[in-house]
Amino acid sequence: MTTQTIIEQATQKQPQLAAHFLHLVTTGRLSHAYLFSGLPGCGKQAVAQLVAMRLFCSDVTADGYPCGVCAECQRILAGDNPDVVMVQPEGQRIKIDQVRYIKDEFSKSAVEGASKVFIIEGSETLTSNAANGLLKFIEEPVANRTIFLLTTNKSMMLPTILSRTQIVEFPALSATAFSETLRQAGISENQIPLLSALTNSMAVSEMLMTDDWLVKCQHEVSRWYTQLAKNDDMAFVTVSTGLMPLAGDRDHQATLLDVIILIWQLTLNRKFITTEESGCFPEADAMITKLAQQLSRRQLLTIVTATLTTKKSLAGNMAIQSILESLTLTILDQF
């Protein structure tokens, strides 16, 4: 990916946020710690890298943007600038050794400029020890040091981290625009609404469509949901026969839980917005409407709350089958 592509991504996906952060740099009001929260592909990393390039660019444009072509801009994209530290999960987690590396870099003076920038992707995967290791850095700001924590799920972050950073919510891309991108890529109309609800990233979309994984997920979650709606104990069996074959790795497990969360959130929404149509679950759409009318607000809130806690259980290394079976029993208890 070129620097110009990074600039285009930031300005096209999040034009207001890109302009806002460039203005902060220009006016010298950039804070020391930010939490960027939003769907995969919504432009969080691009905006963070845009800020880094603007801080180091040797030929800033008249409108305050990094040029994208100077040696400094190119080095940041290539990961060759020692004053721009980028960290992403190793496997499923950002580990304490990586945080030690960040803290070590934080203690060093800038090598080539007046600033140092830290960009941590997947910050929700920080272990508790690793997250706590960042607190001193965040609690004791140092001039010309800025950290960007990037997350797709801020609810999985430690409250102490949330309270000490400026939280920036990245809105999802226009559903119409992203749907058209998916359509041009040849994605079936039956899967486009669900993909648009799960991600803003073409790379993630392509991964989820590999071997028809999303097609199968959409069907099996709809089947499981319909069984639950009928208070059918077979839903418990479907966990083993329908859902577990979809949970091959952590990424797919997390997405499976996102799909489950989504169908119950749609049910809650449908209770109060009866005309809402999402198209995410065409097989279960009629049942979603029926169940929204049948269950009370309290029952639906209890179920949605239970679905949301599944992501924390997964992050805590609870077995996915145990998570799904426990959730199924919790939902059946509401009928």
The CATH number given to whatever domain includes residue 122 is 3.40.50.300
Same domain (yes/no): 91, 211: no
The per-residue pLDDT for 50 is: 93
Is the model more confident about 131 or about 275? 131
Same domain (yes/no): 93, 211: no
Q: Give the Cα separation of 33 and 137 in Å (integer).
A: 9
Same domain (yes/no): 197, 327: yes
Same domain (yes/no): 125, 266: no
Same domain (yes/no): 75, 161: yes
Q: What share of the chain is helix, strand, coil (3-state, %, to 5)?
A: 60, 10, 30
The per-residue pLDDT for 110 is: 77
Q: Give the Cα separation of 192 and 175 in Å (integer).
A: 10
167-183 average pLDDT score = 82
Total structural domains in the chain?
Answer: 2
The CATH number given to whatever domain includes residue 282 is 1.20.272
Q: What are phi and psi of 7, to 5 degrees?
A: -60, -45
β-strand partners of 118: 85, 147
155-181 average pLDDT score = 84
Same domain (yes/no): 151, 199: no
From 140, 169, 198, give the residue that closes a domain. 169
The per-residue pLDDT for 106 is: 81
Question: Got the DSSP string for 75-99?
Answer: HHHHT--TTEEEE--BTTBB-HHHH
The per-residue pLDDT for 2 is: 52
Q: What is the pLDDT confidence band of residue 274, given thresholds at 50, 70 and 90?
A: low
> pTM for the complete prediction?
0.65
Same domain (yes/no): 48, 139: yes
287-296 average pLDDT score = 92
Q: What are phi and psi of 36, to 5 degrees?
A: -95, 120
Same domain (yes/no): 322, 296: yes
* Domain with 243 in it: 175-332
Same domain (yes/no): 229, 161: no
From 169, 189, 208, give the residue that closes a domain. 169
From 169, 186, 215, give the residue that closes a domain. 169
Same domain (yes/no): 126, 272: no
46-58 average pLDDT score = 91
Same domain (yes/no): 141, 194: no
Same domain (yes/no): 179, 324: yes
Q: For 199-238, how does the pLDDT look when each residue is reduced to its tens digit (9 = 90+)?
A: 878 888 889 999 999 999 999 999 999 999 999 999 999 9
- Reference 148, options 35, 38, 53, 37; nearest CA is 35
